[in-house]
């Protein structure tokens, strides 16, 4: 079973060009992983695409991007939208 964290980690590595070992739950997207505001917007769009499927469309309002400071915040946010591991 692939977890939300594992899927998110793969996206972060691809989008931000960081080493996989750097993507830990406590890592800040901006401070630790070096994402700027444009990269954060692109990452959020990638999250919407990755976690949407035929039965659920994931939409993350621009204002909610501020709630995703760390990798763990993003995992919890996605869970709050009904995204499940697997």
Catalytic one of 36, 64, 66, 85 = 36
Structural domain boundaries in the chain: 4-80
Tokens of 11: 């996206």
pLDDT value, residue 86: 83
7-19 per-residue burial string, b: 16 or more CB within 10 A, e: under 16: bbbebbbebbebe
Q: Whole-prediction pTM value?
A: 0.93
Give the C-alpha separation, 5 to 10, whole Å: 9
Fold of 4-80: 1.10.1200
**Local structure of 55: helix, strand or coil:** coil
- For residue range 30-77, list pLDDT tens digits in order: 999 999 999 999 999 999 999 998 888 999 998 999 999 999 999 999
66 noted as active-site residue: no
Q: Is the pLDDT of residue 1 over 90?
A: no
pLDDT value, residue 17: 96
Mention every residue, 6+ apart, whose C-beta is less than 8 A from residue 56.
Answer: 82, 83
């Amino acid at each position: 079973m692939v977890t939300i964290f594992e899927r998110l980690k793969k996206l972060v590595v691809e989008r931000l060009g960081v080493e996989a070992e750097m993507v830990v739950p406590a890592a800040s997207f901006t401070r630790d992983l070096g994402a700027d505001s444009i990269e954060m917007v692109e990452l959020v769009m990638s999250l919407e695409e990755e976690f949407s499927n035929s039965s659920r469309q994931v939409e993350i309002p621009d204002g909610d991007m501020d709630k995703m400071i760390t990798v763990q915040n993003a995992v919890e946010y996605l869970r709050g939208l009904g995204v499940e591991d697997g």
